[in-house]
Amino acid sequence: MVDEESHDNEELQLIFESDQEDRSPPDWERIRTEDPKRRARVAELLQAGAARTGADFLHAAMVFQHGRTPEDYLQAKELALRAVELGRADAKWLAAAAEDRYLMVSGQPQKFGTQFRAKGGAWVLHDVDPSTSDTDRASMGVPTLAAQQERAREMTHEAPPPARA
C-alpha cells in the first residue's frame, strides 16, 4: 500500500544519482572510494527510518546492489522487494538481479540470468538454474534466457571484457 502523504527522501535520491553518475561511464577509482561511503550512509538512513516510499527503497536497493559482499546483495534484494510492495513494479528486476548476484558470488547458478561474467575474451551469462522458466523471468521483469544470451553477444561486440594482466 502506498502512503499518499509520504514524500521521497531527497538524500536517498541524491545518493542514488551519485551512484549512477559514477557508472556512466564507469569511474572505477571513484566507485572504489565512494561506494562504501554511500552504503554506510544509506544504512544509517535506513536505520533511522528515513526510507518510506517505493522510490526510497529502490534507491537504497541499487546502492546495496553495487556492494561487495553476499550480505549487501541480500540487503539489496529485500529493499527492492519492499519497493515492489510500495508500488514500484520496476524494482522487480533489481530484486532478481540482487538474488542472482548473491547466488553467483556464493558459487551457485543464478536463478534469473541477469549476471554476466568474462570468459575467454567474451561476456557470457553466469551459470543459470535450468529449473527457472522464462515465465518466472517475465514475472520479475527479466528478459528471456535467449534474449539474455543475445545480450551477452552484443556486449562482447560493443565492449569486450578487458584482458587480465
pLDDT tens, position by position, 47-89: 999 999 999 999 999 999 999 999 999 999 999 999 999 999 9
Are 73 and 146 contained in the same domain? no
Percent of the chain with pLDDT over 90: 88
Backbone angles phi, psi at 119, to 5 degrees: -150, 115
Tell me: pLDDT of 2 over 80.
no
Indicate if the pLDDT at residue 6 is higher than 80: no
Same-domain status, 30 and 62: yes
Average pLDDT, the chain: 94
24 and 102 within one domain? yes
Domain range enclosing 101: 1-108
Residues 35 and 102 in one domain: yes
pLDDT band at 1 (very low <50, low <70, confident <90, very high): very low
Q: Regarding predicted confidence, which is higher, 26 or 47?
A: 47
> Do 72 and 127 lie in a common domain?
no
79 and 63, same structural domain?
Answer: yes
Do 103 and 129 fall within a single domain? no
Same domain membership, residue 77 and residue 36: yes
- The answer on 121 and 104 residing in a single domain is no
Whether omega before 25 lies within 30 degrees of 0, making that bond cis, reads yes
Domain boundary among 108, 125, 145: 108
What is the pLDDT, as a whole number, of residue 25?
86
Question: Quick check: helix, strand or coil at residue 122?
Answer: strand
CB atoms closer than 10 angstroms to residue 34: 17
Share of the chain above pLDDT 70, in %: 95
Q: Is residue 165 over pLDDT 80?
A: no
Terminal-to-terminal C-alpha distance of the chain:
51
Number of domains in the chain: 2
Which pLDDT band, with edges at 50, 70 and 90, does 39 fall under? very high
Looking at the structure, tell me whether residues 26 and 56 fall in a common domain. Answer: yes
The mean pLDDT value for 13-24 works out to 95
Residues across the chain:
165
Full-model pTM: 0.90
Select from 67, 88, 108 the last residue of a domain.
108
